[in-house]
Amino acid sequence: MLENILPSLITGVLALIGIIFTNVMSNKQIEHKLEVNQAEMNIKLDYITAQVEQHNTGIQQIPVLAEKVKNLEEKIKSIESQISKG
């Protein structure tokens, strides 16, 4: 009876070892792909963050520029009124 069970046990253990090895290797490949994808996402996120900061800097400058334009318009009106009086 042992001669019937022993080959089956050996076959079962070897099959189990094969399955475990395959799963471990598959998990390593998946982890590597995830790491690569995460690195790509980090690069894209850094680029987008830089673009947003650049955009926000431009937006922050608009009120300053608007004030400067307003001051220039007032100076132009003042000069035009001096010229017309002149």
Q: Which SS3 state, helix, strand or coil, does residue 86 take?
A: coil
Q: Which SS3 state, helix, strand or coil, does residue 1 take?
A: coil
Structural domain boundaries in the chain = 28-86
Exposed / middle / buried, residue 2 (Cβ in 10 Å: 0-12, 13-18, 19+): exposed
CA 47, CA 41: separation in Å to the nearest integer? 10
| pTM of the predicted protein model | 0.58
pLDDT in tens, the chain (86 residues): 778 899 999 999 999 999 999 999 999 999 999 999 999 999 999 999 999 999 999 888 999 999 999 999 999 999 999 888 86
